[in-house]
Amino acid sequence: MTLHRQMLLIILILFSCMSVGTFTVSINNTRQYLMRQLESHAQDAATSLGLSLSPHMNDPATVNAMVDAIFDRGYYQEIAIASVDGKQMIKRVNPVRIKGVPDWFIALIPLKTPQADALIVDGWIESGRVRVSSHPGLAYDELWRTAVDTFYWYLGSAIISLGLSLALLRLVMQPLRAVEEQAEAICRRSYPIQSIIPRTRELRKVVLAMNKMSLRVKQMFEEQSAITDVLRDQAHLDPVTGIGNRRYFDKQMDHLTQSQEEFFWGALLLLRLHDFKKFNDVYGYNEGDNLLRRIAEMIRSVCQDKGECIVARLGGAEFAIIMPYDSPGAVSMLAQDLSEQLMLLSEAWVVNSRPGYIGAALFSGQSAAELLSHADQALHTAQDEGKCGWSLYKHKPWVEGFPDDLNDWRKYLEMAIVNNLYILHFQPVYSVSSKSTEIIFREIFLRLKGDSGNLLVAGLFMPMAEKIGLARDLDMLVIKAALYHMRKESNIDNIYAINITTTSMRDAKFVAWLCEQLTLFPQCAKRLIFEIPEYGILHDVPAAKSFSKSLHSYGSKLSIDQFGRSFSSFAYLNSINPTYIKLDGSFVRNINLDKDNQFLVQALTRTAHEIDIKVIALNVESNDEQAILTAMRVDGVQGYFIGKPESE
């Protein structure tokens, strides 16, 4: 029970006790007063009647008339006249009939009707005795009306008092409600400060203490986040250009070329400035660094609308671009754009007519070393061809067995959606706590059926779906399939994670449709986690915040996939409020052999736990990797070594 309700209950109990006590005392006092009045009334009547009858005791008719005159007024219950020897001469009795007063009230509050006696004397001689009892009807009527009036008075007073108490309590408790909201906001990784300080000393101290705590928690998180950012930048960022360094590039290349779900196809482009040493000799090293920064910015600018391109400086005057999910035509277009922009930049600093060269190679299943070798061969071919040239390495068909024409892809994907040519695979995410076999949740992977009966992984068809505008339809397909699976399974405790594309997250119609589905199946909604790649969230943080808020309103959760791949501040997590982050596989592969990555992952995990976010390590492929991750206190692990995606 809330403090507000407790205080209202206490006030109600105290007021009730006071009202009942006062009501009881008031009714009892009225009762005592009425009983005294009845006694006095009876005695006065007896005395008066005794004096009036003294001269007429020998005249029975007169005595009867006088008694009847008094008795007929109805104020008396009994009047009796007795002679000196005790013989009853006259007796009048009025039965007790009380109208308008409940029987329970009469039984609860009895009124005694005392008898009054008086002597009838003739001179100095006693001639008889008169006995009178007052009728209690009028007294009961008066007592009942007093009780009713008093009850309604206290009831009205109680309602008014409680209303005033409620208003005053709301006013007095407002600072505490603000403190409660502030505490809940801190739990949501927000750190508000109350600007209105109450005058009440105790509440003032509480509010000031909460403000101080909020500032301190925020400062601690920012400090930890800044340290984590610095550690990551030192390990993976080129200090001159601000893009990835050779170490970062090698890890991304090694990870992506082994991850069909993320990088089924793509390209590697190498850009090398011509005779950069001569430029440094002519213009100086400071200008050389400025040139490298301008080249890095130019590459990022050209690649910004090409998807999640990974840009790095390999050393000296050589840059690399990993371009996922595209066709040979798009790769050639990117190489041409880079070549043209390189020529434009060179006009201000060129020392000869050959500013640089670009070599590109398509990824078609080869290893990272082979792909880099092919791109390097293309780079040398471009260098041989002359001024600012580019070359595309001819290895073998792009991806054998699949078209590179978008229209053909559109026909295939539309047919797959209409005819439900899909199957769901599930991959477990295991906890690394003492219960090593506990499954935290299962990630759902969509597989489409190919013409020859083979299954197509998402890394193959999802890039094409995004290009032709069918990503939202596929996201809806997998959500409907997941909800159907959850409704028919016997275990209602299983939790599932579904990947959502950035396109869908930013689509208002899709979000409205998703909210409708979560409304229709509220129990399933509480068992769903929606995963969005970090690149997509950073591309549109406001949309991600809105999407996260919508999910939480239905009890669903948000997870950030491929976390750490982008060079963004850790602090943005506060506004997104995810439940999980999944560390990018480039941090996890061979982590048992990489001390720097161990240190970085440990810092990332510690920072995430500071704001109550659970950390999942992706692409765990060996027992040694799992052991080191467990020691770093990550919350869960996922990978082919842990459990492959399989159908149920």
Strand partners, 446: 424
Domain boundaries, the chain: 3-159, 246-393, 406-637
Summarize pLDDT for 40-87 with one digit per residue, the tens.
877 877 788 778 877 777 777 887 888 777 777 767 778 788 877 778
Q: For the residues 620-632, what does the mean pLDDT come to?
A: 91
Summarize pLDDT for 118-161 with one digit per residue, the tens.
887 876 777 788 888 887 777 888 888 888 888 888 788 878 87
Superfamily of domain 246-393: Reverse transcriptase/Diguanylate cyclase domain (3.30.70.270)
Phi, psi of 620 (to 5 degrees): -80, 115
Q: What percent of the chain has pLDDT over 70?
A: 92
Q: What is the pTM of this model?
A: 0.70
Q: For the residues 180-197, what does the mean pLDDT come to?
A: 72
Phi, psi of 566 (to 5 degrees): -90, 150
What pLDDT is recorded for position 349? 60
**Closest to 130 in 3D by CA, of 197, 196, 45, 58:** 45
Pairing type for strands 439-449 and 455-456 reads antiparallel
Examine the pLDDT at 396 and tell me if it is beyond 60: no
What letter would DSSP give residue 571? G
pLDDT band at 624 (very low <50, low <70, confident <90, very high): very high
Helix (H, G, I), strand (E, B) or coil at 59: coil
Specify which of 168-172, 209-213, 319-323 reaches the highest per-range mean pLDDT: 319-323
Domain 3-159 sits in CATH at: 3.30.450
What pLDDT is recorded for position 74? 66
Examine the pLDDT at 435 and tell me if it is beyond 60: no
Summarize pLDDT for 7-52 with one digit per residue, the tens.
777 777 877 787 788 878 888 888 888 888 878 877 877 788 778 8
> What kind of architecture, by CATH, is found in domain 406-637?
Alpha-Beta Barrel (3.20)
Strand order in the sheet with 318-324: 310-315, 318-324, 266-273, 356-363, 390-393
Among 314-323, 444-453, 585-594, the least confident range:
444-453
pLDDT band at 611 (very low <50, low <70, confident <90, very high): confident
**Closest to 64 in 3D by CA, of 81, 84, 42:** 81
What pLDDT is recorded for position 511? 96
